[in-house]
Structure formats: structure tokens, C-alpha cells
Amino acid sequence: MESPRDAIGREERATDTVTAALVERFGATLGIAPPASGRIAPRLIHFCLAQPAAPAALLGRDGHPATGDFLPRLPLPRRMWAGSDIRFHGDLCIGDTVERRSRVADIVRKQGRTGELYFVTVDHDYRRDGATVIEDRQTLVYRADDASPPPPGPAAPHGTTSIALVPDDVLLFRYSALTFNGHRIHYDRRYAVEVEGYRGLVVHGPMQATLLYHLAAKVSGRPPDLFTFRSISTLFDGEAMALHAGEMTDNALPLWTAREGGPVAMQAEARWA
């Protein structure tokens, strides 16, 4: 039988085009105005580009493409995007043809507080005319069905700058559509509650990251060159939450999300070269 680590080094390529319609829908969904130039696409729109388009028959029970092709076949069914480390070398523009080159960089099995875990690291390289525009090192985590949720941490602090919002099921559905993300925890309430044991629809990690990135750009007056984020705990639809930014130190800005009175959900840092 194939070992999960046999997938290390496996590569995948796909292409897509940054269209004016995608930029318009991205901005309308997230409330992000396009840059003043009119041609430059908002950053982190690359999450919407060159997504795997697996036929329905090749999807797993959770709506994701089944593992075993590009990603390794794993014995644990529950998948989450744990975080990313992103470096920007420039901007994507409307009309650009973008090639995504992806490579499985590492696979690690761990025993965590919630049970057995697999961490899969994938390096994504987004290129225009052969030149790298965005590097995104993504970490996926896989858990067992019966994995217990981690104990909640202390209540998150309030940032120097905070923006309150209440994510609803329409927002989650539209973001899933933008990113061609079939993961049912974001739009199928019965599946999210009865199968995966959540108390509601799960707010996307990359959507929280996108909102935090653009908060950092607003606070500083310019888009960050480096951006990292890690999912710590889960947010749900219908529950008031906030985006927080702390104090800038040495060209680094700490950011986080949290529900009212709850622990940090996503922790991020923006940096400028």
C-alpha cells in the first residue's frame, strides 16, 4: 500500500484568468473596493483562481475532491485549512492568465490533544508569463471523525482597530462559490451539525484571512508584502465576530479574529519589506 509520505514531491499545474467579473464579485461579497488603478485585482483573490474542478463523482463525502490523486490518500476524513505563509512579489491584474504550480512539500503525522492528526504542506506558486507573482505555502490538517474539539482558550483581547460583523449563510455560500469550494461545512447545516458535530455553519478560514489582510492594508495605507495566518478555533454563522488589528512594531502588524467574548479564532501577521 502507498504510504502517505510517498506523495511528497507530487506536482500539479492549472491555469485560470483574472476576469473583471471575478474582481467585481469578490469585492461585492467581501466589501472590498478594487484598487484605484482599476486594473489591479485585490490581493488574496488568488484563493479563487485555478481551483480543482473535480467531477461530482470524484468528490468525497464532505464535498472536497477525494484524496489519492494529487493530495495523499489519508485514513482521516475531516479536512481543514490550518494556515498559510504568503509572499507577494507584485499584483495580479484583470486580464492576466495565471498558472498555479503546486507541490506537496511535506506530510507529518502527529498525536495532538484532539487525537491523531496529519499535516500536509503544499507549496503554491502563482505565475504570470513565467514569473512568480505570489508564493503561498499552505498547511492542511486532517482529523478523525471522533476527534474532540480543542479546549477553548482565554477570551481574545480587543485590538487598537476593530471591525464588527455577523457572518450569515449567504456570505458563506457566496464565498464558497467564488472559490469553487464544495466543503459542506460552509453551506450544508445538516451535514455540519449532524455529521461533523459543529453547532452551525463554519466561517471559512481563508475568508477571515482575506478580511484581515485588507484591514492591515487599510490601517497601514499600503498592502502587506508578507502575510501569515493560522486557524486557532472555529467561528460560526449568525454569531457576532470582529476583525482586530494591534499595534505596528518593526513593520509587522498583528491581527486576529474572534467572536464576542470568545477566544482567538484566527491569528495573523502582516509585514512590509
CATH number at residue 264: 3.10.129.10
3-state secondary structure at position 183: coil
* Of residues 158, 260, 268, the one with CA closest to residue 216: 268
- Given this model, what pLDDT does residue 112 score? 75
Residue count (the chain): 273
CB contact set of 159 (below 8 Å; sequence gap of 6+): 242, 243, 244, 245, 246, 255, 256
Query: Does residue 201 contact residue 186 with C-beta atoms inside 8 Å?
Result: yes
Give the 3-state secondary structure of 109-160.
Answer: EEEECCEEEEEEEEEEEEEECCEEEEEEEEEEEEECCCCCCCCCCCCCCCCC
- Please report the pLDDT score of residue 37 as a whole number: 66
Nearest CA among 187, 181, 190, 243 for reference residue 216? 243
* pLDDT at residue 145 in the model: 76
- pLDDT at position 229 is 98
- Tens digit of pLDDT at every position of the chain (273 positions): 568 888 899 999 999 999 999 999 999 999 998 766 679 999 999 999 999 888 888 888 888 887 767 888 888 888 889 999 999 999 999 999 999 999 999 999 988 777 889 999 999 999 999 999 999 999 999 988 776 667 778 999 999 999 999 999 999 999 999 999 999 999 999 999 998 889 999 999 999 999 999 999 999 999 999 999 999 999 999 999 999 999 999 999 999 999 999 999 999 999 998
Q: What is the pLDDT, as a whole number, of residue 26?
A: 97
CA 129 to chain centroid: 25
Closest CA to 152 of 94, 205, 104, 113: 113
Q: Is 41 exposed, middle or buried (0-12, 13-18, 19+ CB in 10 A)?
A: buried
The tally of domains found in the chain comes to 1
Range of the domain at 46: 4-271
Q: Could you tell me the pTM of the whole model?
A: 0.94
